Structure 1
Amino acid sequence: MSVRSAVVINPSKVLDLEERRRELCDALAAAGWPEPLWLETTPEDPGCGMAREAAEAGVEVVLVCGGDGTVMAVAGELAGSDVAVALVPSGTGNLLATNLGIPRDVAEAVAVAVAGDRRRIDVGEVEGEGVFTVMAGMGFDAAMVGETPDDAKRRFGWAAYVASGIRNLTRRRMSVRLRLDGGRWLHRRAAAVLVANVGRLQGGIRLFPDAQPDDGELDVAVLTPAHVADWARLAGGVLLARRAAGLETFRARAVEIHATREEPREIDGDVIAPGRRLSARVRPGALTVCVPPS
């Protein structure tokens, strides 16, 4: 019997919804799969209820057509299950898809869902907020994401973050303390603290060269630039894959971050309420994803 599938799609991430539906259904039909269960996200539900509905319907593969936020919502529901997630990149960042080598072409992405391998990857879980597949952060990165208009992201992709990033280069640093795996507290003056499940950021920048989404650990970056010149040195070091001034990295299964004041926070590119804390832990091998054949 053919594998049953569902499509969870964010209508705001595609130009022509009906055309995208034809593309997906035709590609699945060409592979001999029956028509998928079609589930559209809403402003009130970014994909959680749709993922639950798909799982309750007994599907084996959920194709996620949207950005990292849609993937995050679906992953939060399907983590810990045997339902596989197949990525059809359609948003601004698509960082999980980029890190896993998923093509942007719809037919090629469906081919990965149909004939690719199944890989169990970790997810991160932020206390009180849900899971992430890519990254959670506090400080500069969250401020940058929060100030970037949605229409700019639709028009310019990841480059839309540049303007808000430049505006925040002189943002006052945070006074934070962080603890890894219950160890001693580390005190820093930081522009941002990132907790990541993958190594590559927007624009293909590899912040964590050794990070793997199935290594059972989270990668932590503490960014400490105080001035624009510091940011320039940091960027140069990262781009040239050299030891970067203003950057400390760690690895841990659990991370606790405490700031002395409320700071912007984000999970997988979605801004959450500002806060003084960000606590995350890894859930090893919790999510099955479709990846290109090895």
Structure 2
Amino acid sequence: MAIPRRVAALVVNSTKADGGTGSLRRTLTAAVAAAGWEPLWLETTSADHGRGAAARALREGASLVLVYGGDGTVREVTGTMAGSGVPLGLLPAGSGNLLARALGVPVTDLGAALRIALHGRDRPIDVARVAGTDPVERFCVMGGVGLDAAMIRDAPERWKALLGWLAYLGAAVRNLGRPTVPMEIRVDDGPPVRTRARSAVVANVALLPSGNSLLPDVRPDDGILDVAIIDGHGTAGWLGVVADAVGRRGRFKDATVLRGREIRITLGTPQPRELDGDLIAEDAELVVCAEPGALLVRVPGTP
């Protein structure tokens, strides 16, 4: 009787591999083969940041997918894998690596992350799906409109290459004069909350690159999304917001927080929007729905 294939796909962002992918490929495929899997090597390209590679992995029968890259690559792969029932292993190689940090996957020890990806336990987590996009957009960490997206838009690529997430602080300072915009936030079937603010952030995972938590009560597996409406009154207020982000206060004080399965944010004017650090088209609306337990992720622990 034929032995069923056990395929483990490796979706790799080659731009994150110092000195090329040759040595990395040998290391990863050898470890996968030693664990009893048949490795399937798939590199991202300028035209496919991971979504197509993940789809190919599923088509070819992979029963485990490992992703080597940063938050953007992880978002592309998880968006495709949501609902598949195939576990995902995280091999962090970016500047933020927020999902990995939140789930306890080491971000500076590739060997340790690889052992977890191959031998850890599967944890179901929620995924957030954005309505009205084609193709469907999803995220696992945070999506936002307004100032936080403007920070990502305005951070120069050379700064990000040199400074990592600290590059966004300079962009934040440059946007301190950004005016508030009218916002209407509706959670599930509740009444609308109308206000003026500079940013609204929907969180499934609330960890910031500084190690702080935007919203300490957020859990990635409770089937609920949290939305923080952040004002920061005037320049002094926004300096306080920045201090909350990079300091050790553990939360944003100047924020209104709502919770639910569907978050609908309607804006007075089109605003920048971002999902896990990736910009999407500006719009005057952001509608996000929770997909409870849609993604299996390998985390530390015994299966």
Shorter-chain TM-score tier: over 0.9
Give the whole-Å Cα distance in 1 for the aligned partners of 2:292 and 2:53.
24
Equivalent residue for 1:173, pick from 176, 180, 201: 180
- What is the rounded CA distance, in whole Å, between the counterparts of 1:272 and 1:72 in structure 2? 13
Q: 1:53 aligns with which of 51, 56, 67?
A: 56
Determine the C-alpha separation between the residues in 2 that align with 1:162 and 1:241.
17
Conserved 8 A contact 2:215-2:251: no
Superposed CA offset, 1:267-287 (max 9, x none): 110001111000001000000
Aligned to 2:16: 13
Inter-CA distance 242–28: structure 2 relative to 1 (3 Å threshold):
closer
The answer to whether the 8 A contact 2:212-2:250 is kept is: no
**Is 2:213–2:250's contact at 8 Å kept on the other side of the alignment?**
no
TM-score, structure 2 as length reference? 0.91
Contact kept, 8 Å, 2:128 with 2:204, in 1: the verdict is yes
2:276 to 268, 272, 277: 268
Tell me the CA shift for residue 122 of structure 1.
0.2
Instruction: State the alpha-carbon separation in 1 of the partners of residues 250 and 126 from structure 2.
Output: 27
Shift of 1:228: 2.1
Structure-1 residue corresponding to 2:44? 41
- What do the CA deviations read for 1:43-67 (whole angstroms, capped 9, x no partner)? 1111111111101111111111111
Which segments of 5 or more consecutive residues in structure 2 lack a partner in the other structure? none
Partner residue in 2 for 1:216: 223
Return closer, same or farther for 1:7/1:247 CA change in 2, 3 Å cut-off.
Answer: same
Partner-residue secondary structure (3-state), 2:227: strand
Alpha-carbon deviations, 1:32-91, whole Å to 9, x = none?
A: 433x11111111111111111101111111111111111111111111111111111112
Note if 1:162 corresponds to 2:166.
no
Say which of 236, 251, 257 aligns to 2:259: 251
The answer to whether residue 130 in structure 2 is matched with residue 126 in structure 1 is yes
- How many pairs align? 293
* 5+ long unaligned stretches in structure 1: none
Determine whether 1:280 maps to 2:288.
yes
Contact kept? 2:10, 2:65, Cα under 8 Å: yes
Given that 1:120 and 1:289 are in contact with CA atoms closer than 8 Å, whether structure 2 keeps it comes out as yes
> Which residue matches 1:153?
160
Aligned to 2:27, the other structure's residue is in SS state: helix
The one of 67, 71, 85 aligned to 1:68 = 71
Q: Which amino acid aligns with 2:110?
A: V
Q: Deviations over 1:155-181 (max 9, x none)?
A: 221111111111112211111111001
Q: For residue 61 of structure 2, give the secondary structure of its aligned residue in structure 1.
A: coil
Quick one: distance in 1 between partners of 2:250 and 2:51? 40
Tell whether the 8 Å contact from 2:6 to 2:36 is kept in structure 1 after alignment.
Answer: no
**How large is the Cα RMSD of the aligned pairs?**
1.8
Q: 2:195 aligns with which of 188, 202, 205?
A: 188
CA displacement, residues 201-249 of structure 1 (integer Å, 9 cap, x when unaligned) = 1211211111111010001111011322112334556755477542111
**Shift in Å, 1:31:** 3.0
1:150 Cα deviation from its structure 2 partner: 2.7
* Pairing partner for 1:108 from 90, 93, 112: 112
Which amino acid is 1:265 matched to?
Answer: R
- Within the candidate set 234, 238, 253, 1:227 is matched to 234
Partner SS for 1:121: strand
State the Cα distance separating 1:148 from its structure 2 match: 1.4
- Which residue in the other structure is 1:293 paired with? 301
Q: Note the alpha carbon deviations across 1:250-279, whole angstroms, 9 max, x for none.
A: 211000001111100001100011110000
Distance of aligned partners of 1:272 and 1:243 in 2 relative to their CA distance in 1, 3 Å threshold: closer
Q: What residue number does 1:88 align with?
A: 91
Given that 1:179 and 1:186 are in contact with CA atoms closer than 8 Å, whether structure 2 keeps it comes out as yes
Secondary structure of 2:95 counterpart: coil
| 1:200 shift after superposition | 0.8
Q: Give the direction of change, closer, same or farther, for the CA distance of 1:154–1:237 in structure 2 (3 Å limit).
A: closer
Query: What is the CA–CA distance in structure 2 between the aligned matches of 1:150 and 1:291, rounded to whole Å?
Result: 31
Question: How many percent identity over aligned positions?
Answer: 43
